[in-house]
Chain A
Amino acid sequence: MSTLTPQPVLLGRSGLVFLGVVLGAAVLVPLLNLATSPDSALHVPTYVVSLLGKYLTYALLALSVDLIWGYVGILSLGHGAFFALGGYAMGMYLMRQIGPRGVYGDPVLPDFMVFLNWKELPWFWHGFDLFPFAALMVLLAPGILALVFGWFAFRSRVTGVYLSIITQAMTFALLLAFFRNDMGFGGNNGLTDFKDILGFNIQADGTRLVLFVLSALALALGYVLCRFLVRSHFGKVLIAIRDAETRVRFTGYRAENYKLVAFVVSAMLAGIAGALYVPQVGIINPGEFSPANSIEIIVWVAVGGRGTLIGAALGAVLVNYAKTYFTSGLLAPYWLFMLGGLFVAVTLFLPKGIVGTFYEWRDRRASATPADGGLPEPKPAE
């Protein structure tokens, strides 16, 4: 019997380790890039820095999914859409920064608009030449979509697999829309050929290092925010909704409002991830809306450990490292099979994911109360 009061700490030991690793990478990776000679075994080439930066944005995306899937039980199969919207908002800013340096040399219109014979900038492209406006849109575009979508879905009490299906439909609808040239987002080709960001050359090594560091900081802050949320009274209600939504309603909470707040925060985090992703990979196109992308995020979270936050981030990095590794070799055609196989294997043999399993093992060893999160074993109700 344990009557020890669990420490009401924000981060816990694993949280501190996680932050240490992320912030440590933010210092060490640029250092190894700058301070070592290219021949040194320790040297980290700039393309690797950008690759790692991309993984970090995926980690933030996975974190956003874990917030709603792990803690509220909302299995969103459309979170790629929020990521892509954040990415497009950033992409539009980067397009406007090209100015007259485009192939057609138009001072205002991006190349694809000139190509389509458009005479003036569509109304929704105005303001994107200003970074603060674009940054606001990175949050608002996914946030407002999540607000509207969630308002209808949660109010009508759509849950479970139906909710998953309509999130998938949402991202698919956006995929089709963004493919169209007349939508004004560059159609099939998307937005690319970026030149600079805030006046810095986007290809320059220094810019790439800074983007990497910003991605690490965003992940660290995103983690602290999510951790704060799930440990607050608000977060306890979220977990209660996940486990017994009816009970929550009969206790006087508006479950739909709680879900909505979590969903909007999650969408905004995904949007920030997308905005950091685009300058590092140099392109955003409608493919980011593809339903398969959103499903992949679920695999990352499941592998790392749903409902642990750290696990989601870890899973994103590990699975994407594997993806980079395998899709560049002989096994490339089989990557999707491997991914599917991985998901099945994790579901069967490691249902709590890597971090969840670790927590379970640690708690069993300590045989104390789990003070650090992780999904406790769901007890079958008689």
Chain B
Amino acid sequence: MSAADTLEPESAPVEAIARKDLTEALLYLDGVTVTFDGFRALNALSFTVDPGEMRAIIGPNGAGKTTMMDCITGKTRPDKGDVFFNGGTTDLTKLDETQIATLGIGRKFQKPTVFESHTVLDNLRLALKGQRGALANIFKRETAAEREKIDAIFETIKLSEHRHRMGGDLSHGQKQWLEIGMLLAQDPKLLLVDEPVAGMTDAETAQTAELLREINANGHSVVVVEHDMTFVRDLGVRVMCLHEGAVLAEGTLDQVSANERVIEVYLGR
């Protein structure tokens, strides 16, 4: 990133979104700007995600994809702009990570983070939607319904035979799946999935696309960030390309990959 890039005047690359979208959108970002020591990681970023939608986000390294997720989940406060959830009813910039998670936004990190010294089973137990209070959890007992839910998740993420292994002992790809399983256990309305197939074999990648489509079909909205174009194609959803903290292009994968600017900054090299 050269200094000149950061000094560029603030431009809105995408037309300001009409207000009516706010009440219809599950997630609504408008003019979100984040600056790190003068460097603009997000530059008036605006987009919306509809209820039930799955969206893929691509873009070169440093485009601001992870920072965007940080803004949605309360890890980073935007300097400017709005982030609303649930048809504009909830202002996410006013809440912290825990409150946002409780609202129903789950997140898979770019670097897979599972609880390494807990078993795979305990990882899912910890993530399972339910009681979060410290005192109440001293006496918590697992119910039959909870056990069933966990078994169902094990079916989905295919880690059943690893349930008593330590999270830290799993392979990279297995950790990615476990983390997706933990997201499912949280049962969020919106899943933010950052680079889920990094370090996976082609077969695992295809399975992951399948898994995310299934999750989406079950009524969860999903935002996936990924560099793997085969995977993005497998998802078969609307694609958005970020560049220098703003939306460069949006549409089907074919439309986006035909865009000259996208080819220039991302695909072409």
Contacts and interface: CB of A to CB of B under 8 A. Distances in A.
A250 B73 contact: yes
A243 B115 contact: yes
A133 B203 CA distance: 68
Interface string A357-377: 000000000000100000111
Nearest to B172: A382
Interface in B121-148: 122, 125-127, 131-135, 137-140
Given A233-B137, A236-B126, A250 B107 contact: yes
Contacts of A199: none
B117 A253 contact: no
A254 B132 CA distance: 8
A6 interface: yes
Interface stretch (B60-68, B160-168, B216-224): B160-168
Given A232-B139, A369-B165, A252 B186 contact: yes
A1 B106 CA distance: 31
A250 to B, nearest CB: 5
B94 interface: no
A36 interface: no
Interface stretch (B27-35, B45-53, B97-105, B245-253): B97-105
A356 to B, nearest CB: 13
Contact of A376 (B109, B117, B133): B117
Contact of A252 (B116, B117, B132, B138): B132
Nearest to B113: A247
B102 A247 contact: no
Contacts of B117: 239, 243, 375-376, 378
B116 A250 contact: no
Contact of B115 (A1, A247, A250, A382): A247
Contacts of B96: 249
Contacts of B73: 250
Given A247-B115, A376-B168, A379-B168, A252 B137 contact: no
B233 interface: no
Given A1-B161, A251-B101, A379-B168, A239 B115 contact: yes
Nearest to A375: B117
A240 B96 CA distance: 19
Nearest to A381: B111
A253 B132 contact: yes
Contact of B118 (A2, A3, A239, A258): A239
Interface in A183-225: none
B169 interface: yes
B168 A237 contact: no
A347 interface: no
Interface string A309-338: 000000000000000000000000000000
Interface in A1-38: 1-6
A377 B115 contact: no
A5 B97 CA distance: 34
A159 interface: no
B119 interface: yes
Contact of A254 (B98, B119, B163, B182): B98
A376 B101 contact: no
B134 A257 contact: yes
A237 B126 CA distance: 7
Nearest to A259: B134
B164 A6 contact: yes
Given A3-B163, A6-B164, A244 B115 contact: yes
Contacts of B182: 251
A261 interface: yes
A244 B127 contact: no
A337 B73 CA distance: 50
B149 to A, nearest CB: 15
Interface in B163-216: 163-166, 168-169, 172, 182, 186
B119 to A, nearest CB: 7
A236 B118 contact: yes
Contacts of A247: 109, 113-115
A168 B65 CA distance: 41
Contacts of A234: 134-135, 137-138, 140
Contacts of B106: 250
A91 to B, nearest CB: 32
Contacts of A249: 96-98, 101
A240 B119 CA distance: 11
Contacts of A5: 164
Nearest to A6: B164
6 contacts: A236-B122, A243-B116, A246-B75, A249-B98, A250-B101, A376-B116
Q: Please provide the 4 A-B residue pairs with the shortest distance between their CB atoms, ordered closest to farther.
A: A379-B168, A252-B101, A233-B140, A249-B97
Given A234-B135, A251-B127, A255-B98, 5 more contacts: A3-B163, A229-B138, A244-B116, A251-B186, A257-B134
